[in-house]
Amino acid sequence: MKIVSTKENLQVLYEDNHIIAINKRVGDIVQGDKTGDKPLSDVVKEYIKDKYNKPGEVFLGVVHRLDRPTTGIVVFARTSKALARLNELFKNRETQKTYWAIVKGKLPKSNDTLVHFLKRNEKANTSKAHLKEVPDSKRASLEYSTFKELNNYSALEIALHTGRHHQIRSQLSAIGYPIKGDLKYGADRSNPDGGIHLHARKLEFVHPVSKEDIIITAPVPDDPIWKAL
């Protein structure tokens, strides 16, 4: 069953005066879209308003996003100063993102670097990975390593070198190992909660105001395969 985040069950991973990091659930949408579903950004605003008895409108800046079926760390800015600096950090790739993914079977190489050229299809909301550059494509690179083998699955740790649309999903699909539950990219069946086994596990960055090194880790969802790790 799909559980979406509310101000009562929000999984807060880190919080101070300038930033707040949330462990996003499968059903959460980070920012409002055409579905009209309540976005995580609104839920976080309600949480802050309640917790700190804030009058009036609560400021919250969206810095980055995760695909709706994906889980894991999402950072929001609580001040305009933090928002401007976090935007720069993410734009200049001065953050280190680590993802975990579960794929079916055993990969021929336990670790590898994948380089593709991704072409986005706006209409279908997908990206296709090509081995050679094609018109309107963008270079995408990631590194993966298998850190655990389960009965029929492999658990991968992934470091992104670039941040492209659906990058991990399309690159793993291109080598024949789509993420568990990811029908859009070739998985053979969906997951009961409509999510996929892709989790934004760890985020490292320099705090936009205090300049401290921040390392945030998100617990995996409460699901038998994730828990087996």
Q: Measure the CA–CA gap between 72 and 49, rounded to whole angstroms.
A: 23
Query: What distances in angstroms separate CA 69 from CA 17, 30, 188, 210, 220, one per listed residue?
Result: 29, 11, 16, 33, 14
Structural tokens at position 225? 């395969």
Helix ranges (H only) for the chain are 40-51, 80-91, 167-174, 224-227
Q: Measure the CA–CA gap between 190 and 192, rounded to whole angstroms.
A: 7
- Catalytic amino acids? 67
Q: Measure the CA–CA gap between 12 and 22, rounded to whole angstroms.
A: 5
Structural tokens at position 172? 């793993």
| 179 DSSP 8-state letter | B
| 150 DSSP 8-state letter | -
